[in-house]
Amino acid sequence: MKYKNPILPGMHPDPSVCRVGEDYFLVNSSFEYFPGIPVFHSRDLLHWEQLGHCIERTEQLTLRKGFPGATGTYAPTIRYHEGTFYVVCTNVAYGGETDGNFFVWTKDPFQKNAWSDPVRLETPGIDPSFYFEGEHAYYTGAAESKIFLCEIDIKTGKYKKEPVFIWNGTGGNDPEGPHLYKKDNWYYLMISEGGTELGHMVTIARSHNIYGPYEPDEKNPILTNRSTAAEIKAAGHADIFEDHLGNYHAVCLGTRSISYPFKHNLGRETMLLPVLWEKGAFPVLGTEGRLETEYDAPSFSDSEWLEGVPKQLLACTGKFYDDFSSEDLNPCWNFIYEPADFTCQAKKEEHAGLLLKSNGHKLCEDQGTAFLGHRQEHHEFEAETKVSFSPMNTGDETGLTIYLNHRHHYEIAIQKTENKTVLLFRRQIGTLVSEIQKKCVIPEDGITLKLSGTKEKYSFSYSMDGINFQLLGEGEAAYLTTEVGGMFTGNYIGLYTAGKEECTSLFHYFKYSQTL
């Protein structure tokens, strides 16, 4: 059997994996989105159920405002040591300053609300990783364009040994994303260089002494798709792990382009690749150092496990439906910065669905509007919702948006203008804003809004009866890409309510499906 990359499509960057027995756990960065740091579990490496997030309570962390796509949680690493799972991460503040490295821990990631409050670390820079050996908790990170190593007290987060720079890579920009492994009496330090764009690459060095000197592999970079015709671009930020049968694999990030020069709108996605790691030798990643789209599936699968996973928790299957009737929000949903004021109402209630209340902020403000977002996971997709809305004040608005950040988004909305309610199609690309209004009478039981995506365009339509749709407007996909709108995130499909603070809308359901 073959599998196709990405294994987690849509914005799932900076993947890290750890294994306990036959169970595999994976985490990603999530930047300004809340809950933060999604946690996935698998027993076959190809299907992943989302267990929840490391950051689920606002008291744990304040995700910093001011520079969406570049602030919040960066590059977590997950490791397991003596009965405890650790996820170490950075909360980056405005302008690239870090608000500090921290780790959270749990003994049972399957539990609800599993993860501890953050233990703050004194370390500088970004991209933290743990390596445990006996009673030593080693920490590697990236700061001042170099990789450093220190030792910490895993109870308090305090230094046991202060940072020492151990390698600065092979000359590429932004040496980062370090992970330390020990094999056959060698310490292997694997990092990324070249930036997280088209020049991205993975390099490695090794030493018999954990503090170095580290000697680079002659074959560096050991993974890169730069200057190749490979479909997946930007392969980098990898983490290696051994499976329960003794074979090695890696996860890394990569992007899939939609136009030329290469641009991507799904964010950086999680890829899985085979690793050949022979005794005493450096590891060989992917296909002689290149990441292909298709590989042979791992030799193990666990259909019993898969059958037991609630369908709604299987991530990125290309089919998702939510009528918001369960008390807990599905973990695939994200807010911006912090939870919006919302209620999920059970089917038996008169107004079943998601009640979403405005927080006074518009979609174009960087303070975080009342928004519930689902990652765009496929280039070709359709998303649909039905919304009821009785706007009171001029400017009250609710709708369905395709959203990269507050300055780059397209949406179909219902808006209250001075003397009427209109259907609105808006495109915002930086400071360019285009709006088209169409006068209409919204049926009392709601209007159906639909967004369809292809590699070329996003199309927005509406229906008064839920059957017959009329196109309202279209916008180019190429302008809603990370290359155009920055920085590290990908597109979300969002339900939102904006206007005076008492303004509330009722979303009856949300439907997402891959169409190709």
Residues serving a catalytic function are 14, 176
- Using rule CB under 6 A, residue 102 touches ligand 6LW: no
Residue placing its CB nearer to ligand 6LW in the complex, 31 or 342? 31
Closest contact distance (angstroms) between CB of 21 and ligand 6LW is 29
* 336 in Cβ contact with 489 (< 8 Å): no
- If binding is defined by CB under 6 A, does position 169 make contact with ligand 6LW? no
Pick out residues in 448-477 that bind ligand 6LW (CB under 6 A).
none
Q: Shortest distance, CB of residue 32 to ligand 6LW, whole angstroms?
A: 12
Q: According to CB under 6 A, which residues from 243 to 262 bind ligand 6LW? A: 253
> How many residues does this entry show for the chain?
516
CB closest to ligand 6LW, residue no: 196
Nearer to ligand 6LW, 75 or 154 (CB): 75
Is the Cβ of residue 145 or residue 301 nearer to ligand 6LW in the bound state? 145
Interface pick for ligand 6LW out of 6, 69, 169, 177 (rule CB under 6 A): 177
Helix (H, G, I), strand (E, B) or coil at 102: strand
Q: Does 508 bind ligand 6LW (CB under 6 A)?
A: no
Rounded to the nearest whole angstrom, what is the least distance from the CB of residue 140 to ligand 6LW in the complex? Answer: 12
Contact between 29 and ligand 6LW (CB under 6 A)? yes
The minimum distance between CB 7 and ligand 6LW, in angstroms, equals 17
The phi and psi torsions of 306 (rounded to 5 degrees) equal -60, -40
Of positions 126, 344, 429, 449, contacts ligand 6LW by CB under 6 A = 126
Q: Which of 381, 401, 351, 366 is nearest to 504 (CA)?
A: 351
| Separation CA 179–CA 147 (nearest Å) | 10
For residues 380 and 351, the answer to whether their CB atoms sit within 8 Å is no
The alpha carbon of residue 27 and the mean position of all alpha carbons in its chain are separated, in whole angstroms, by: 9
Task: Based on the shown chain and the rule CB under 6 A, indicate whether residue 488 belongs to the binding site for ligand 6LW.
Answer: yes
Q: Are strands 381-389 and 447-453 parallel, antiparallel or unpaired?
A: antiparallel
Cβ-contact 73, 101 below 8 angstroms: no
Would you list the DSSP string of 398-456? EEEEEEEETTEEEEEEEEE-SS-EEEEEEEEETTEEEEEEEE----TT-EEEEEEE-SS
Reduce the DSSP state of residue 68 to 3 states and report it: coil
Q: Binding to ligand 6LW by residue 237, rule CB under 6 A?
A: yes
Task: Tell me how far, at minimum, the Cβ of 96 lies from ligand 6LW, in Å.
Answer: 10
The span from the CA of 190 to the CA of 208, in Å, is 15
Candidate residues 40, 48, 74, 381; the one interacting with ligand 6LW per rule CB under 6 A: 74
Lookup: tokens for 502: 């008492």
Edge-to-edge strands, sheet with 136-143? 126-133, 136-143, 146-152, 159-167
196, 255, 385, 388: residue in contact with ligand 6LW (rule CB under 6 A): 196
Handedness of CA 159, 165, 168, 169 (dihedral sign): negative
Q: Which of 49, 127, 396, 397 binds ligand 6LW (CB under 6 A)?
A: 127
Position among 75, 190, 363, 423 found at the interface with ligand 6LW (CB under 6 A): 75
Does 13 interact with ligand 6LW (rule: CB under 6 A)? yes
| Token representation of residue 466 | 């839920």
- If one asks whether residue 428 binds ligand 6LW (CB under 6 A), the answer comes out as no
Query: How many Cβ atoms sit within 10 Å of the Cβ of residue 435?
Result: 13
Smaller CB separation from ligand 6LW, 90 or 398: 90
Token code pair at residue 111: 């539990």
Q: Which is nearer to ligand 6LW, 93 or 447 (CB)?
A: 93
Q: Which of 390, 415, 398, 425 has its CA nearest to residue 494?
A: 398
State yes or no: residue 377 binds ligand 6LW (CB under 6 A): no
Rule CB under 6 A: say whether 269 interacts with ligand 6LW. no
Is residue 14 part of the contact set for ligand 6LW (CB under 6 A)? yes
- Closer residue to ligand 6LW in complex, CB, 35/453: 35
Distance (Å, rounded) from C-alpha 76 to C-alpha 128? 7
Q: Does 176 bind ligand 6LW (CB under 6 A)?
A: yes
Q: How many residues at the interface with ligand 6LW, by CB under 6 A?
A: 15
**Residues in touch with ligand 6LW (CB under 6 A):** 13-14, 29, 74-75, 126-127, 176-177, 192, 196, 236-237, 253, 488
